[in-house]
């Protein structure tokens, strides 16, 4: 059924995922048999899996750059990216490496195939490890329906769906207008103004958060309905006070994969400060490349790597030179003020780099940032239209507030931004919240599902399906 679910997107790509599952399982069994050296089979597994991603995700990007650099005319293939290939391939890389290390138990083919293709986390993660999921498949107690898990899973799922349909898609409308406008008019009349750029950056910052966080909650909720615990992937990342803290909270299973299978094998922080910084930059470069075939993603990874290195440097300086201050009253106050300042800097950095992540090219990103220096405070209503609250102008008029359509849209936009920020900073995430089985939660869940289903009349796609 998981393969049927995957094939619904494009039946021809069933061949890809099935071939990937079979080849990786054969390599794992070969390691068990011991007739071929493990290092040879590990090398074949890495070449196959990385080659699979390269062909479908980076082949055209590679040829484009070869053509631009050497003035050649290699024909591009315009290959459609198979859904979830980055996720299920990384999952299988982790399995092959663990098998090489002797950390894999005796798994049947059906168990392995389900581990790779299990539909809740198949197309956009989390990146699950075999030791987290396959033992759950073997637990016979989980074969019986649990109405507690069904209920709590449905509550988690509905809240994730609401994050996506009701919040992320609202911000997505403003992002689409802003990016389309930037691609048509870069400078001069009609280009984005300073307030529009700020709205664009904030909108994408909230869109990608609620989109991917919502998807991860949906995956967790679906897993819970089947009595399975899918690992946590988000821990309120916009509460982070540093880039290091952000990456401990954002897409946690990707961070875990890169730490376990790239950073530590490179030597981690065990070979001196210089190597630590080099290894950190390599990890973030891999993260950027993994996200997409565009120089924007590569530069995004490099900038986050630099941010991580600066964070390590300042953290070491603080611990060695100013750590004693934290024990005093003045030091505690200073620490709180520094924490607030650190949050502002971190959140601003995330906004600027998320804009790079969304831009069509590095040139577009630079042009948009340059427009911030132009003093123009106009905001087009098309930019604000996604935030429209029906009949809101009548309410403003009743409160003796500015009630023109333009004023109502500006206030609606400000309220939407404030609402999203409050959720990110003040509310418990779905992993921290207790889901009590009562009438209030039931009615709230039904209401959310009803509003989400009504919202499905519009076109909606998950952002991370692109990565």
Whether 78 sits among the annotated catalytic residues: the reply is no
Closest by Cα among 40, 6, 38, 35 to 20: 6
Two structure tokens written together for 235 = 């821990």
C-alpha distance across the termini of the chain, in Å: 24
Whole-angstrom distance, CA of residue 119 vs CA of residue 219: 8
- Residue labelled with tokens 């053509």: 67
| 55 DSSP assignment | I
Count of alpha carbons within 13 angstroms of residue 15, beta-carbon side? 2
Count of alpha carbons within 13 angstroms of residue 145, beta-carbon side? 3
Q: How far is CA 245 from CA 2, 270, 356, 424, in A?
A: 35, 21, 21, 15
Whole-angstrom distance, CA of residue 119 vs CA of residue 6: 8
- For the beta carbon of residue 57, count every other beta carbon within 10 angstroms: 22
Which residues are CB-neighbours of 398 under 8 A, at least 6 positions away? none
3-state SS assignment for residue 103 = coil
Whole-angstrom distance, CA of residue 34 vs CA of residue 63: 39
Whole-angstrom distance, CA of residue 376 vs CA of residue 117: 51
| 261 DSSP assignment | I
User: What does the radius of gyration of the chain's CA atoms come to, in whole angstroms?
Assistant: 24
Displacement of CA 278 from its chain's centroid (Å): 24
- Residue labelled with tokens 């307030």: 195
Whole-angstrom distance, CA of residue 214 vs CA of residue 267: 35
Q: Is the peptide bond before 350 cis (omega within 30 degrees of 0)?
A: no
Which residues are CB-neighbours of 209 under 8 A, at least 6 positions away? 168, 237, 238, 424
b/e map 309-347, b = 16+ CB within 10 Å: bebbeeeeeeeeeeeeeeeeeeeeeeeeeeeeebbeebb
Closest by Cα among 231, 225, 292 to 256: 231
| 447 DSSP assignment | H
Considering 78, 130, 251, 291, which one is annotated as catalytic? 291
Whole-angstrom distance, CA of residue 454 vs CA of residue 448: 10
> Would you say the C-alpha torsion 256, 261, 263, 264 has a positive or negative sign?
positive
Residues involved in catalysis: 291
């Amino acid at each position: 059924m998981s393969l049927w679910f995957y094939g619904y997107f494009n039946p021809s790509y069933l061949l890809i995922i099935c071939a990937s599952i079979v080849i990786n399982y054969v390599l794992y069994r070969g390691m068990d048999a011991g007739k071929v050296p493990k290092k040879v089979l590990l090398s074949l597994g890495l070449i196959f899996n990385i080659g699979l991603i390269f062909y479908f995700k980076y082949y055209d990007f590679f040829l484009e750059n070869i053509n631009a650099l050497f003035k050649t005319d290699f024909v591009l293939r315009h290959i459609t990216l198979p859904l979830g290939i980055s996720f299920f391939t990384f999952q299988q890389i982790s399995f092959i490496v663990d098998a090489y290390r002797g950390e894999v138990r005796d798994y049947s083919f059906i168990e392995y195939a389900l581990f790779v293709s299990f539909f809740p986390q198949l197309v956009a993660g989390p990146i699950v490890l075999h030791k987290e999921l396959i033992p759950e498949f073997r637990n016979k107690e989980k074969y019986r329906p649990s109405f507690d898990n069904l209920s709590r899973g449905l509550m988690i799922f509905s809240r994730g769906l609401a994050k996506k349909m009701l919040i992320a898609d609202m911000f997505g409308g403003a992002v689409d207008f802003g990016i389309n406008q930037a691609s048509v008019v870069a400078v001069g009349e009609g280009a984005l103004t300073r307030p529009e750029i700020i709205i664009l950056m904030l909108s994408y910052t909230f869109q990608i958060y609620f989109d991917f966080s919502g998807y991860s909650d949906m995956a967790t909720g679906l897993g819970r309905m089947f009595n399975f615990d899918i690992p946590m992937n988000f821990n309120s990342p916009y509460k982070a006070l540093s880039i290091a803290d952000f990456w401990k909270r954002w897409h946690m299973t990707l961070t875990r994969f890169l730490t376990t299978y790239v950073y530590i094998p490179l030597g981690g922080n065990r070979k001196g400060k210089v190597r630590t910084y080099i290894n950190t930059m390599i990890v973030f470069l891999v993260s950027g490349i993994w996200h997409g075939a565009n120089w924007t993603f590569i530069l995004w990874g490099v900038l986050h790597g630099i941010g991580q290195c600066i964070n390590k440097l300042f953290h070491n300086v603080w611990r060695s030179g100013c750590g004693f201050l934290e024990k005093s009253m003045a030091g505690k106050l200073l620490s709180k003020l520094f924490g607030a300042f650190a949050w502002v800097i971190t959140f601003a950095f995330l906004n600027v780099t998320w804009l790079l992540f969304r831009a069509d090219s590095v040139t577009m990103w630079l042009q948009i940032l340059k427009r911030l220096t132009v003093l123009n405070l106009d905001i087009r209503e098309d930019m604000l239209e996604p935030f429209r609250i029906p009949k809101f102008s009548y309410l403003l008029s009743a409160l003796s507030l500015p009630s023109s359509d333009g004023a109502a849209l500006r206030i609606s936009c400000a309220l939407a931004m404030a609402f999203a920020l409050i959720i990110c900073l003040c509310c418990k995430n779905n992993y921290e919240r207790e889901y009590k089985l009562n009438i209030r939660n039931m009615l709230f869940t039904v209401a959310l599902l009803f509003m989400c289903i009504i919202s499905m009349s519009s076109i909606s796609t998950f952002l991370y399906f692109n990565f």
